[in-house]
Amino acid sequence: MPFQLITLENYQENVTCPHCQHAVIDWNEEQYIQPCEHTLFIAMDLGFEYIADEFESTMQRSVDEIHAHDDQGLNIYSELTHSEYPNYLIYKASLGIEGYFRYIGFTQ
Ligand SMILES: [Zn+2]
């Protein structure tokens, strides 16, 4: 697998980029999604919040295609991990709801 999965234990903490330390998830901001140049995607099991063009182009399906078929059930994690992007990190954090997660992708 070309990605490394890192599980975040405390989902209420800000999530910072491992490269530039920018708070990509910043709970102090009304707009708490704050991607930096190293952010490839921010997605929940319920749908995408942010996607970088360079990452979307390596996925099997585009975000529009995925959402167009979401009545058949989403498997965001599967979509993210079947990318052909060479090396990336996935931070996985609980949403505080059983079985639902947020995934944040960074360049390696
Ligand atoms: Zn960064």
Contact between 94 and 13 under an 8 Å Cβ cutoff? The reply is no
> Average pLDDT, stretch 4-13?
92
What is residue 15's predicted lDDT score, i.e. its pLDDT? 97
Residue 23 · residue 15 · CB < 8 Å: yes
CA of 106 to the centre of ligand 1 (A): 8
Percentage of residues in the chain with pLDDT exceeding 90?
83
- What is the three-class DSSP state of 103? strand
For residues 28-34, average pLDDT:
95
Q: Inform me whether the pLDDT recorded for 45 exceeds 80.
A: yes
The string over 35-65, giving b where at least 16 C-beta atoms fall within 10 Å of a residue's C-beta and e elsewhere, is beebbbbbbbeeebbbbbeebbeebeeebee
62 CA to middle of ligand 1, Å? 23
pLDDT tens digit string along 65-104? 998 988 877 899 999 999 999 999 999 999 988 889 999 9
Give the range of the structural domain holding residue 92, as residue numbers without chain letter: 3-107
Query: What local confidence, expressed as pLDDT, does residue 69 receive?
Result: 84
Q: Residue 36 has what pLDDT?
A: 98
Distance 108 CA to ligand 1 centre (A): 11
The Å distance, Cα 22 to ligand 1 centre, comes to: 6
* pLDDT category of residue 1 using cuts at 50, 70 and 90: low
Q: Is the pLDDT of residue 42 over 80?
A: yes
Q: Count of domains in the chain?
A: 1
Distance 12 CA to ligand 1 centre (A): 20
